[in-house]
Structure 1
Amino acid sequence: MSERLGDPAHHFFLTRSVARVMGLSLSEAMNRGQLAPATYADMVTGCRACPLVEACQHWLAARTDLSASAPPGCCNGETLQRLARALH
């Protein structure tokens, strides 16, 4: 049985939104050569398969300021932390 992936557009925006809450622009990271387009695509695909989407959406909704880290259990957390370290 194959795992059903979530809507690509929805997960593109979730991935981008988590990055934004961390003070990151994934487009800017790609332009600077810090994030390969294939890695960005893999991040979105990973998000599409994540079982924590609802928790992520609640985490995003509760944010009133920047966060130093991604939501707990985020499949893209390590990549986002690496980008955050490179930015600062």
Structure 2
Amino acid sequence: MRHIQLGDIEKHFWLARSVARRMGVSLTEAMADGRLSHQAYAEIVTRCRAADCSEGCVLWLAEQQHEMTPEPPCCAIADALRQLR
């Protein structure tokens, strides 16, 4: 069984929220209106933590000027965020 090193939970919590917001998704609103469960939110953050692309996401976020942009090229949570949009 392969052990996956997970990234810092706080860093990836904020990265996931920031990428979602740039894609036009509010994870808070999705939870409030029942489209996103606590478990699914935790899974999104965990997938983000398991991906090895946080530096790319940080750079991508720094380059974004508008909401509703396509996700970063290596985004591990893009499918889930597109479904919430």
Tell me, yes or no, whether TM beats 0.5. yes
Task: State the distance in 2 between where 1:68 and 1:55 align.
Answer: 15
**CA displacement at 1:68 relative to structure 2:** 3.5
Aligned match of 1:9:
10
The runs of 5 or more residues in structure 1 that have no matched partner are: none
What residue ranges of structure 2 are gaps of 5+ in the alignment?
Answer: none
Counterpart CA distance in 1 for 2:56 and 2:69 is 17
Aligned length: 84
Paired with 1:69 and 1:77, the residues of 2 have a C-alpha distance of: 9
User: 2 CA distance for matches of 1:51 and 1:32?
Assistant: 31
Deviates more, 1:67-76 or 1:52-61: 67-76
TM normalised by structure 2 equals 0.91
Structure 1 length as normaliser, TM-score? 0.88
- Kindly report structure 1 stretches of 4+ aligned residues shifted beyond 4 Å: none
Percent of residue pairs identical = 44
Note the alpha carbon deviations across 1:50-72, whole angstroms, 9 max, x for none. 11111111100100111342211
Counterparts of residues 17-28 of structure 1 (less than 5 Å):
17-28=18-29
